[in-house]
């Protein structure tokens, strides 16, 4: 019960520190105003359970699936370019590495699914609105193409058919490189879903750097010029896309910078930058430098993919990354509705 009272002489019996304080409290950056505000709530959930059930995917399977699929797709594009520019050894090495990578990626996916027939069951229908369905069909088309390109190049049989397979694999390569980003962003996991515009570019840059790294490791010095350029391009694209993600996604990007995911992302950025620098400065003159730079690029790409995976898991476990964006979207819709109502009232008065 309050002990204060209001009389003609003013307020009597008030308790110090109990008055309303306008504009005090926890604020979000960039917001101003003279509103009484309540401190941000501590986000808890029913019986301590997360708002979302984190995906049951295993890092060793799904993050490897992300990395190897990107390496395969980008490698097919670089292999076609190497073949067109008269670099047969580089083209052959990249075709073989793309085949090995897509086989490893498919094996990781099937292992995560638990039974091989589950992958085949996904091919029973084609659903254009489902990234999982379209990804399954994409792998079903890309696998034979990249396999034919590699086998026919090594054996020297049917060169025209081998050229067609190389071109088909290169045409499908960009989609193979980035569709896993679309697959992740199509989930309700906040760190992935909120980054649906930037994540494909992160994956594309990371995959290009990895494929260029593989080219540097496996190609002779006289043929690795395009790989050095691709290494720099892929690293710059990945870094720019990651920076844009952190800026535009806002606080939901915190998992990419904190905990295990943050450590992996920073390690990936450092290794990719070191690999790209070595590729640009030394890989054209030293075989050892080319191998070291290529290895750093491959490791940097792998760290980035595992970092993205763990960032999603961290965001799914913390309810604030689910609740706050929902509240902000509801508030934005309410503001729009009020503005529309105000315009309608003004038109009626006018």
Q: Residue 48: what pLDDT?
A: 56
pLDDT tens digits, 198-254: 999 999 999 999 999 999 999 999 999 999 999 999 999 999 999 999 999 988 999
User: Is residue 287, in this structure, part of any structural domain at all?
Assistant: yes
**Residue 7 CA: distances (Å) to CA of 10, 11, 14, 16:** 5, 6, 12, 18
Residue 15 pLDDT level (bands cut at 50, 70, 90): low
Tokens of 219: 């190609």
User: Is residue 125, in this structure, part of any structural domain at all?
Assistant: yes
15 or 269: whose pLDDT is higher?
A: 269
Cβ count near 228 (within 10 Å): 23
User: Is residue 342, in this structure, part of any structural domain at all?
Assistant: no
User: Is residue 6, in this structure, part of any structural domain at all?
Assistant: no
Q: Residue 46: what pLDDT?
A: 58
User: Is residue 45, in this structure, part of any structural domain at all?
Assistant: no
CA dihedral 236, 242, 244, 247 (to 10 degrees): -140
CATH code of the domain in which 140 resides: 1.20.1630.10
How many structural domains is the chain composed of?
A: 1
Whether 12 has a pLDDT exceeding 80, the answer reads: no
* Chain centre distance of CA 303: 12
Residue 3 pLDDT level (bands cut at 50, 70, 90): low
CA distance 83 to 309: 34
Mean pLDDT of all residues belonging to the chain:
86
Percent of the chain scoring above 70 in pLDDT: 85
pLDDT tens digits, 22-50: 334 444 444 444 444 444 555 555 555 66
Whether 275 has a pLDDT exceeding 50, the answer reads: yes
185 or 332: whose pLDDT is higher?
A: 185
pLDDT tens digits, 147-182: 999 999 999 999 999 999 999 999 999 999 999 999
Report the pLDDT averaged over residues 82-110. 95
User: Is residue 266, in this structure, part of any structural domain at all?
Assistant: yes
User: Is residue 53, in this structure, part of any structural domain at all?
Assistant: no
Which residues pair with residue 11 across a beta bridge?
A: 6
User: Is residue 121, in this structure, part of any structural domain at all?
Assistant: yes
Q: Residue 207: what pLDDT?
A: 97
Range of the domain at 308: 59-318
**Residue 132 CA: distances (Å) to CA of 121, 125, 126, 182:** 12, 11, 10, 9
Report CA Rg, the chain. Answer: 27
| 0.95 exceeded by pTM | no
CA distance 97 to 140: 18
**Residue 59 CA: distances (Å) to CA of 63, 109, 111, 225:** 5, 11, 12, 34
117 or 251: whose pLDDT is higher?
A: 251
Contacts of 283 (CB under 8 A, 6+ apart): 216, 224, 227, 228, 231, 289, 290, 293, 294
């Amino acid at each position: 019960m309050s002990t204060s009272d209001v009389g003609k002489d003013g307020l009597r019996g008030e308790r110090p520190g109990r008055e309303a304080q306008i504009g005090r409290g926890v604020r979000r950056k960039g917001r101003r105003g003279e509103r009484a505000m309540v401190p941000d709530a501590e986000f808890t959930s029913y019986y301590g359970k997360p708002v979302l059930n984190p995906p049951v995917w295993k890092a060793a399977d799904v993050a490897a699936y992300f990395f190897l699929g990107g390496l395969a797709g980008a490698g097919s594009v670089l292999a076609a370019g190497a073949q067109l520019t008269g670099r047969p050894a580089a083209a052959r090495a990249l075709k073989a590495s793309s085949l090995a990578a897509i086989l490893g990626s498919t094996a990781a996916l099937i292992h995560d699914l638990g039974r091989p027939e589950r992958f085949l069951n996904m091919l029973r229908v084609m659903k254009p609105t489902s990234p999982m369905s379209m990804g399954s069909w994409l792998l079903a088309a890309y696998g034979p193409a990249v396999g034919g390109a590699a086998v026919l190049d090594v054996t020297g049989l049917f060169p025209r058919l081998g050229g067609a397979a190389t071109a088909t694999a290169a045409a499908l390569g960009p989609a193979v490189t980035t569709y896993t980003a679309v697959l992740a962003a199509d989930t309700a996991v906040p760190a992935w879903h909120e980054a649906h515009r930037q994540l494909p570019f992160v994956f594309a840059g990371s995959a290009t750097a990895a494929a260029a790294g593989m080219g540097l490791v496996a190609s002779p010095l006289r043929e690795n010029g395009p790989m050095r350029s691709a290494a720099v391009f892929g690293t710059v694209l990945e870094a720019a896309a990651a920076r844009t993600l952190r800026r535009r996604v806002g606080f939901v990007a915190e998992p990419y910078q904190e905990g295990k995911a943050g450590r992996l992302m920073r390690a990936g950025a450092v290794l990719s930058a070191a690999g790209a620098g070595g590729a640009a400065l030394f890989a054209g003159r030293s075989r050892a430098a080319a191998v070291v730079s290529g290895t750093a690029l491959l490791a940097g790409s792998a760290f980035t993919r595992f970092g993205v995976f763990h960032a999603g898991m961290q965001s799914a476990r913390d309810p604030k990354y689910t609740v706050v964006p929902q509240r902000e979207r509801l508030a934005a819709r309410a503001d729009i509705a009020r503005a529309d109502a105000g315009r309608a009232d003004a038109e009626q008065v006018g």
